[in-house]
Structure formats: structure tokens, C-alpha cells
């Protein structure tokens, strides 16, 4: 399994740097894109930049391969999940708080039109 997802012999490096540090940065950048009313593809751009930074940290701190398409894509795919998740949760929060007369929560990832009472 070591080599398919992460390059080092310890999965802790991948979990710490890509999932926790990179994931938190991607999640917050997704939220920032939603708060600025940007479309869903903006977090993808942010995740691309964060993937480069995470790949560089792997290279600088643990002597992993810097210019590896495979590991860059693994980092990018992981960070896209966090970025889009942050964007979607923030967008639901925006829609249900700013337009509370129109929409109500329908779970964590969705909203629905509020029923009018006549």
C-alpha cells in the first residue's frame, strides 16, 4: 500500500501533512470562496495551489519526489474533497441565514424552499 497513495514508509506523514494540514487549509479556502460568492470551481484553483505547497513540504522535509504527477494528483484529489466540502457547507449556511424567509436547512449539504404558511 505504501507507494500507491503515499511515498514514504509511514502513512503518518501523508495523514499529517496532506490530510490534516493541507485539508484544513483547503477547507478554509473553500469557505472563503463561498463567502465571496465565488462559483464551485474556485476552490479547485485554491486546492491546486495548496497541493503544490503540500508537495513541496513533502519534498523539503522528507526527501520525497517533488515533481511527481502521481503523488501530486493524490494530494490534489484529497484536497479537492476538503475544499469542495468547505465551499458547500458555507454556501448552505449562507443561503439559510441570509435568505431565511426563502430557504431552510435540509441537512448539512442542502437547503430547500421554505413552506409558506397562509
Question: Are 61 and 48 contacting, i.e. CB atoms less than 8 angstroms apart?
Answer: no
Instruction: Give the pLDDT score at 104.
Output: 78
Instruction: Give the pLDDT score at 110.
Output: 76
In the block, which residue shows the cell 474556485? 42
In the block, which residue shows the cell 515533481? 67
Domain ranges of the chain: 11-113
CA distance 107 to 92: 9
Instruction: Give the pLDDT score at 3.
Output: 63
Instruction: Give the pLDDT score at 47.
Output: 95
CA distance 83 to 44: 7
Nearest to 30 by CA among 75, 67, 81: 81
CA distance 58 to 11: 12
Instruction: Give the pLDDT score at 4.
Output: 67
CA distance 109 to 92: 6
Instruction: Give the pLDDT score at 9.
Output: 65
Averaged pLDDT, groups of 10, the chain, 118 residues long:
65 88 96 94 95 92 84 93 95 87 79 73
Instruction: Give the pLDDT score at 44.
Output: 95
Amino acid at each position: 500500500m505504501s507507494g500507491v497513495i503515499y511515498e514514504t514508509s509511514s502513512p503518518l506523514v501523508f495523514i499529517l501533512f496532506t490530510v490534516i494540514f493541507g485539508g484544513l487549509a483547503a477547507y478554509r479556502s473553500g469557505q472563503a470562496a463561498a463567502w465571496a460568492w465565488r462559483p464551485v470551481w474556485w476552490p479547485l484553483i485554491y486546492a491546486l495551489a495548496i497541493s503544490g505547497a503540500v508537495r513541496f513540504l513533502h519534498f523539503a522535509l522528507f526527501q520525497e519526489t517533488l515533481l511527481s504527477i502521481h503523488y501530486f494528483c493524490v494530494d490534489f484529489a484529497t484536497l479537492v474533497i476538503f475544499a469542495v466540502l468547505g465551499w458547500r457547507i458555507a454556501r448552505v449556511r449562507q443561503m439559510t441565514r441570509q435568505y431565511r424567509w426563502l430557504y431552510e436547512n435540509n441537512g448539512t449539504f442542502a437547503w430547500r424552499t421554505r413552506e409558506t404558511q397562509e
